Structure 1
Amino acid sequence: MKITLALLTFLFAHLVFSQAGVSHKSYDELLQKYVDEKGMVDYKGLKGDRPKLKSYLSILETNPPQNNWTRDQKLAYWINAYNAYTLELILEHYPVESIKDIGSTIKIPFVSTAWDIKFINIGDEEYDLNNIEHGIIRKEFDEPRIHFALVCAAVSCPKLQRRAYVPEKLDDQLAKATTEFLANPEKNEFKNANQATLSKLFNWYGGDFKKNSTLIEFINQYAPIKLSKNAEIEWKDYNWALNEQQ
């Protein structure tokens, strides 16, 4: 078999591309255009730019993570995928008052929710949002801060950041997302060192925060007020209204 210069160029380009991961530039541009500083989304405007979102999703679909990608390349990919596909799901059903209104008309808890709709095709696999969050991200990455990066389109969720997650800045981006979430009094209230009313995310995913420390030890790394080890913690009601700009 004769190996031509064109074939060698293609193979080299493919190797470099696979090692570099994928570009999240177009998604980053959408976030800056349609997400405000509070993380609220202009869904009406984004719906008009939906072809650009679909083009980005096509990049994800045809370029799944490879074994030779770094950990941060893979994690940034899956965080962006979760958030971008959540936006696509909302746009598919927009206007909608809450993501919880999406799903089967016959509501079966933990079976027929918006997170169980298999509308994601990446590589040769079909996924739903639960598959990405629980089957991939939480299963394969020991990183509790992902809970402040994954945004399920609700008011009480962490804010959708205005920049895409990228491997070269991932640690700083996750720290920023966690710090901002804990500092937001609408989502977490620190009355003093002995009392706090926290987001139910810390209750729902408590085990993720206790793998390497106690929950309070984790929180104290990012919280505006350091809690005592015996602090009294209550849980805030969760607002599932759509995170839409008004």
Structure 2
Amino acid sequence: MKFLKYFAIVALATIILQSCNLLSAAGIGSQAQPTKQVEGELTSTTANSSKNVDHSEWDALLKKHVNSEGLVDYKGFQKDEAKLDAYLSFLAGKDPSNDWSVQELLAFYINLYNADTVKLILENYPTESIKDIDGAWTKGRAMVDGRALSLGGIENGILRKMNEPRIHFAINCASMSCPKLLREAYTAGKINEQLDKATTEFINSDKNEIKPNNPKISSIFKFYPKDFTVDGKQDIPGYINKYSTVKIDAGATITYKEYDWSLNEQ
């Protein structure tokens, strides 16, 4: 009887531990990373942080292997994979903390997500879609100070908790319906302007069909509806109208475009 009770306790503990690990991998947990929030209007600055991270290695790779449409030359990236590995190793040696500014944290995790997504594709290249890769978003792979972060965890457990919905247009999931991969690294000194550019370009691109009465918009807005607010209330049309050249009428019926998960390759 005691053995059965012990076995039951061990089994329950194992289930709880596995559940916690799955939740963390899926992005519910922050994976022991800081999640400082943007307060008020985000400004671009390097003056308020204990650390200023140099992302120039990643910047050079993006300028070399990403075109103006945000499509990626993965075969070219393969030739520079050692440089990508060096950049990821550089990030792995950092230990982000709340002493870093929110600008530095945003730039760090956006660049980490994008660089490690490219690395994931290179490890499985050729591939038709990131969705064909087992555990693409749930396996711990992006190293930071000895911790293996999952891509889903970086997005959902860290970036989405920072009160900056524009991150959805900055991180790139290597797919055609994703926001395009910016041809420059995100930096604290330009973060607000870069996020504005990424958001404005995405909303006004062919990823959406913005019309006053019957807009058909990206499924990104369906995936994360609570993130897009105006005056503290969920308002997808109102959020889009802040950036769109065509305004959506109040009460318009919104539909969502099918998401194209095919590889964003040149």
Q: Which TM-score applies when normalising by structure 2? A: 0.79
AA of the residue aligned to 1:173:
Q
Q: Give the match for residue 9 of structure 1.
A: none
In the alignment, structure 1 residue 194 sits paired with structure 2 residue 213? yes
What is the distance in 2 between the residues matched to 1:229 and 1:165? 34
In the alignment, structure 1 residue 157 sits paired with structure 2 residue 178? yes
More helix as a share of residues: 1
Q: Give the match for residue 122 of structure 1.
A: 144
Q: Give the match for residue 225 of structure 2.
A: 206
Q: Give the match for residue 183 of structure 1.
A: 204
Query: Which stretches in structure 1 are left out of the alignment for 5+ residues?
Result: 1-15, 104-112
Measured after TM superposition, the shift of residue 21 of structure 1 is 2.5
Q: Secondary structure at the match of 2:126?
A: coil
- The one of 57, 65, 69 aligned to 2:88: 57
| 1:182–1:224 contact (8 Å) kept in structure 2 | no
Q: Give the match for residue 4 of structure 1.
A: none
| 1:178–1:222 contact (8 Å) kept in structure 2 | yes
| 2:112–2:142 contact (8 Å) kept in structure 1 | no
What is the distance in 2 between the residues matched to 1:138 and 1:181? 18
| 1:64–1:123 contact (8 Å) kept in structure 2 | yes
1:166-186 CA deviation, whole Å, 9 max, x = no partner? Answer: 11111111111011001112x
Measured after TM superposition, the shift of residue 159 of structure 1 is 0.3
What is the distance in 2 between the residues matched to 1:155 and 1:165? 21
| 1:22–1:59 contact (8 Å) kept in structure 2 | no
Q: Give the match for residue 108 of structure 1.
A: none
In the alignment, structure 1 residue 20 sits paired with structure 2 residue 51? yes
Q: Give the match for residue 174 of structure 1.
A: 195
- The one of 221, 228, 237 aligned to 2:242: 221
AA of the residue aligned to 1:201:
I
What is the distance in 2 between the residues matched to 1:23 and 1:138? 23
What is the distance in 1 between the residues matched to 2:229 and 2:164? 11
Query: Which stretches in structure 2 are left out of the alignment for 5+ residues?
Result: 1-46
Q: Give the match for residue 74 of structure 1.
A: 105
| 1:28–1:164 contact (8 Å) kept in structure 2 | yes
| 1:21–1:65 contact (8 Å) kept in structure 2 | no
- The one of 120, 125, 133 aligned to 1:89: 120
Q: Which TM-score applies when normalising by structure 1? A: 0.85
AA of the residue aligned to 1:128:
S
Q: Secondary structure at the match of 2:137?
A: helix
Measured after TM superposition, the shift of residue 66 of structure 1 is 2.8
Q: Which runs of 4+ in 1 moved over 6 A?
A: none
